[in-house]
Amino acid sequence: MDSDSVKALVFDTFGTVVDWRTSVSRDLAAFGARKGIQADWLAFADAWRAGYKPGMDTVRSGQRPWANIDVLPGLRRLKQRYIISTFSNGSVPCLVNMAKHAGLPWDAIYSADIVRHFKPDPEVYLGVIGFFDLPPEQLMLVAAHNGDLRHARSHGMRTAYIQRPTEYGPAQSKDLGAEDDWDVIVPGIDRLADVLLGSQLPFRRR
């Protein structure tokens, strides 16, 4: 893969860009402290996430995600050369508010909302290709989830795997590593910028 041939990077958001587990449990712990409630807030966050499907709309008001410092410089650098966009089952208002709170500098918000389907329905992947009106090979999905990347590749998109082996905590049982020869495999978004912007070689070629 030639990184010049990619024009837009679309990012799975929850788990790939923002650490929902730590931030949600931290906010819940602060809430508990104010109200005098003791609980295992990480377990609470896990239970909350387990009840999360198929949409994220119902939890919008409880959301206050966090982006670590590696994510922000990575996105800012990638934005200099590529269109950067969300690619999420989260609702448009959720993604917009998250971006405003965390300072995520997206060029566009693309959500499953727009096509009224959820990942991994093909409409979501075909929809983003139509949204940006680019050949699929000029779009790269950035995600911490092998399944998401598998679907993106099946529609002709490029793929970048971000290693997040503890997105779901220390007991996470899937997405512990890359399960295929994704175009790029990196431990974080800052490293994705290193690879795509050429300050670190090599990356995998297809």
Is the Cβ of residue 4 or residue 171 nearer to its own copies in the bound state? 4
Distance of closest approach, residue 158 Cβ to its own copies, in angstroms? 18
The one-letter amino acid at 83: I
139-143 and 158-162 strand pairing: parallel
Distance of closest approach, residue 98 Cβ to its own copies, in angstroms? 11
CB burial of 166-186 (b: ≥16 within 10 Å; e: otherwise) equals ebbeeeeeebeebeeebbbbb
Relative orientation angle of helices 122-132 and 146-154, to the nearest 10 degrees: 60
Which H, E and C letters describe 28-84, residue by residue? HHHHHHHHCCCCCHHHHHHHHHHCCCCCCHHHHHHCCCCCCCCHHHHHHHHHHHCEE
Distance of closest approach, residue 65 Cβ to its own copies, in angstroms? 16
Rounded to whole angstroms, how far apart are CA atoms 22 and 81? 31
Phi, psi of 48 (to 5 degrees): -60, -45
Is the Cβ of residue 45 or residue 95 nearer to its own copies in the bound state? 95
Distance of closest approach, residue 40 Cβ to its own copies, in angstroms? 32
Distance of closest approach, residue 4 Cβ to its own copies, in angstroms? 17
- Cβ-in-10-Å burial (0-12, 13-18, 19+) of 194 comes to middle
Site for its own copies in 145-204 (CB under 8 A): none
Site for its own copies in 106-145 (CB under 8 A): 107-109, 113-114, 131-134
Cis peptide before 202 (omega within 30 of 0): yes
Is the Cβ of residue 52 or residue 131 nearer to its own copies in the bound state? 131
Number of chain positions touching its own copies (CB under 8 A): 19
Asked if 10 is part of the footprint of its own copies (rule: CB under 8 A), the reply reads no
Site for its own copies in 82-111 (CB under 8 A): 83, 91-93, 96-97, 99-100, 107-109
Is the Cβ of residue 126 or residue 134 nearer to its own copies in the bound state? 134
Distance of closest approach, residue 105 Cβ to its own copies, in angstroms? 8
Contact residues for its own copies, defined by CB under 8 A: 57, 79, 83, 91-93, 96-97, 99-100, 107-109, 113-114, 131-134
